[in-house]
A and B are shown apart, each in its own frame.
Chain A
Amino acid sequence: MQNLIDNFFSYTITGLTIGAVYALVALGYTLVYGVLRLINFAHSEVFMYGTFAALWVVMILGGHPGAGVGQVIFWVAMMFVAAMAMSGLVAVLLERVAYRPLRKRNAPPLIALISAIGASFVLAEIMGLRSRIAGWVGLDDTLRDYVRNSRNNAGLPTIIQPQPIFTIGGYHVTNVDIFVIVGAIAIMVILDQFVKRSRLGRGIRAVAMDPEAAALMGVNRDRVIQVTFLVGGIMAGAAAVFYMLKIGITRYDAGFILGVKAFTAAVLGGIGNLRGALLGGFVLGLAENYGSAVVGSQWKDVVAFVLLVLILLFRPTGLLGESLGKARA
């Protein structure tokens, strides 16, 4: 406990940093749940593909430590482009292959849930077996650096050297911390405005509120669902870039734990509610760090899930309630 009090700001800032990643991934769960009433369990893999895209693009561009500011900005920008494109693409493909055929046949929601879990395994294993897949198509030599040790960690070169910017309560807040927290909030504000103001955003809200009425009013439901998956994927891609900048190491199963955490964050904040996902992510990140400080790091997940259970006991719809379709966006 003394440790937590002494290093309160250190635990807080680092908790907010990882919480920002949870929040961005949580948006994907929340958006899809909002329009489809479906938990897209494969969303964790959408995130994982983003981490690899971010890593690979830096490898292709020859990213290395100690480069100039302009160069670093270019690399980070390319990481965003690659990760968002990859995650968006995977999310849209996922919807096409794993969910749309079921929806067309009016399958019950539970079937879609099973399909989601299956898709999650398939996507993770494709990444985990990429060395063999490259071998089958005869590209294992060309792609050696990208596919070798495919079931092991893959590390990103430190392209941004963390530098203390200012000190708060004994903790040196670094450029990476600030970039991740501010960047994530900025992206969420943009998303919030997109859902609230744009035509497509209105479509998303309409389908979330009442799919049949929306269809009668001329909203193309399939298109709206596709856009929802795309937007969720893009958010996961952004999360993947922040994750790689902060953690720096990914693996074919890296999405799993993070996905469960992000789903927890979404439920915590009120699934279907965009601002709830943001709040849930930050609360979860903080709770994990404070819990680790007080009772030891091995209790990190226990603390997170106990918190979830407690909140659901007293507020079954989460902190902010379910509301994608309601007046607030």
Chain B
Amino acid sequence: MRSTLKFAVPLAVAALALGACGTKGGDTTTPAASGGAAACGNYKIGMFGALTGPNANLGIYIQNGVNLALDDYNKKHADCKVTLENYDSQGDPTQAPALAKKAIDDKKVVGIVGPAFSGESKAADPAFNEAGLVTITPSATNPALADNGWKTFFRALGNDATQGPAAAKYIKDTLKSTKTFVIDDASEYGKGLADIVRKDLGSQVVGNDTIQQKQTDFSASVTKVTSSGADALFFGGYSPEAAPLIKQLRDAGWKGTFVVADGVKDQSFIDNAKDAAEGTIITCPCVPPDVAPDFQSAYKAKYNEDPNTYSGEGYDSATILLDGIAAGKDRASMVDFVKAYDKKGVTKQLKFDAKGESADIKVFAYKVENGKIVSVGEIK
């Protein structure tokens, strides 16, 4: 019996490692339309992000925006349609490089909307840069991404260097918190954002903790937060962890304000945390739907719901690429086209600086009220 045990322990460890990178299959969503006229380039644009898995909602909101832009384009160019190619990374950085290769090898793909998250961007963007394939991310907000000198990197929204300070400002000025606790999930996105908030809040941070993605029992973190006497908690991370975290904090009787960022701006956070989600403040460089009423009504007509987190940014990113295709650009000439782009989109003036950052940036605060995420205005 000893020998079985000898096998079993390393196997458990191996299975743990396997589980960390494997075990996720995929519901694939069908690409928008098919085919095109023989004479034209039959170009495609890629949608790179989580379309299945626990973070799928954020990817699907973007994909909906992209599909809407495609519909607009294909209506005008019925003789030469552009199709959407989905690269479903499940938000997992380990899957990103292989998908990037797949996109690069498909010569019909002239531009990518995405990668949606910061971790997968860091993993996939070097390959895109090398291949000269343009990426416009509608949602990856880690500031360091723009510092790599990738000439194909563009970001259609504000980064965490603006979102983080805005979140800190909101905690300080609007919530008037004097004791703030900060937790991050050790991800590229969550830790980057939390570190900015920590720096900006300075001495009013009464405690720090780091959790792991996929963790479900937060009892140690809950004890740390409640014993610190914090009146506000900032969490840098995504909704699969945010939901059980706030639920367990409320169960333990913590009364402070839960502040999170765009990674949690997702209906599944409320569906799972239920009543515990009420009053949560969500910061987001995403524009509320009522800023662009035309886009809002078109989106509502197609999907029967209001545009959600980064739908508008997804629409804008796709529109830039489609304008490029309409102007006769191919993969090689697309980079300069995007660099020189300057037009009004549904979310903002679409224009990029030398590093590929969006030139026009706003951060908004949202609040969970009666099971809905509602805008409470721009953080200025």
Contacts and interface: CB of A to CB of B under 8 A. Distances in A.
Interface string A1-30: 001001100110011011000000000000
Interface in A255-312: 256-258, 260, 263-264, 267, 271-272, 288-289, 292-293, 296-298, 300-301, 305, 312
A306 B97 CA distance: 33
B247 A129 contact: no
Interface in B200-228: 209-212, 214-224, 226-227
A251 B54 contact: yes
Nearest to B272: A155
A136 B25 CA distance: 17
Contact of B186 (A15, A298, A322): A298
B223 A152 contact: no
Given A6-B227, A41-B15, A65-B275, A18 B7 contact: no
Given A128-B25, A298-B212, A253 B19 contact: yes
A301 B274 contact: no
B101 interface: no
A152 B275 contact: no
Interface stretch (A90-98, A117-125, A182-190, A228-236): A117-125
Given A124-B23, A155-B273, A297 B210 contact: yes
A249 B12 contact: no
B244 A249 contact: yes
A124 B25 CA distance: 10
Interface string A146-187: 000111111101100010100000111010100000000000
A158 B220 CA distance: 21
Given A113-B8, A152-B268, A298-B212, A293 B220 contact: yes
B336 interface: no
B247 A155 contact: yes
A293 B221 CA distance: 8
Interface residues of B, number: 55
Interface in B34-74: 52-54, 56-57
A316 interface: yes
Contact of B221 (A157, A170, A297): A297
A290 B60 CA distance: 40
Contacts of B144: none
B27 interface: yes
Nearest to A18: B217
B220 A289 contact: yes
B327 interface: no
A247 interface: yes
A153 B216 CA distance: 10
B198 to A, nearest CB: 14
A318 B211 CA distance: 29
**Interface core residue of A10, A17, A264, A297 (most chain B CB under 10 Å):** A297
Contacts of A17: 219
B274 A155 contact: yes
Contacts of B211: 297-298
A211 B243 CA distance: 48
Nearest to B53: A151
Given A158-B275, A253-B19, A14 B222 contact: yes
A249 B272 contact: yes
B94 interface: no
A3 B5 contact: no
Contacts of A18: 217, 219
Contacts, number: 169
A225 B7 CA distance: 22
Nearest to A308: B9
Contacts of B57: 149, 152
A289 B224 CA distance: 11
Contacts of A249: 216, 243-244, 247, 272
A37 B243 CA distance: 39
A101 B57 CA distance: 42
B128 to A, nearest CB: 27
Nearest to B208: A296
B375 to A, nearest CB: 24
A170 to B, nearest CB: 8
Contacts of A298: 186, 210-212
Contacts of A3: 224, 227
Contacts of B2: 316
B332 interface: no
Contact of A117 (B15, B251, B272): B15
A250 to B, nearest CB: 8
Contacts of B7: 110, 113
A326 to B, nearest CB: 12
B253 interface: yes
Contacts of B274: 65, 155, 157-158
B353 interface: no
A151 B56 contact: yes
B60 to A, nearest CB: 10
Interface of B: 1-2, 4-5, 7-9, 11-13, 15-16, 19, 23-25, 27, 52-54, 56-57, 186, 209-212, 214-224, 226-227, 240, 243-244, 247-248, 251-253, 268, 271-276
Given A113-B7, A249-B243, A257-B19, 14 more contacts: A3-B227, A10-B226, A14-B219, A39-B8, A113-B11, A117-B11, A117-B15, A125-B23, A131-B27, A151-B24, A154-B272, A257-B216, A292-B221, A322-B1
28 contacts: A3-B224, A7-B224, A10-B223, A11-B220, A14-B219, A18-B217, A37-B4, A38-B4, A39-B8, A65-B275, A129-B27, A149-B56, A151-B24, A151-B27, A152-B57, A153-B240, A153-B244, A158-B251, A172-B253, A247-B216, A249-B243, A254-B216, A257-B216, A292-B220, A293-B223, A293-B224, A297-B211, A300-B212
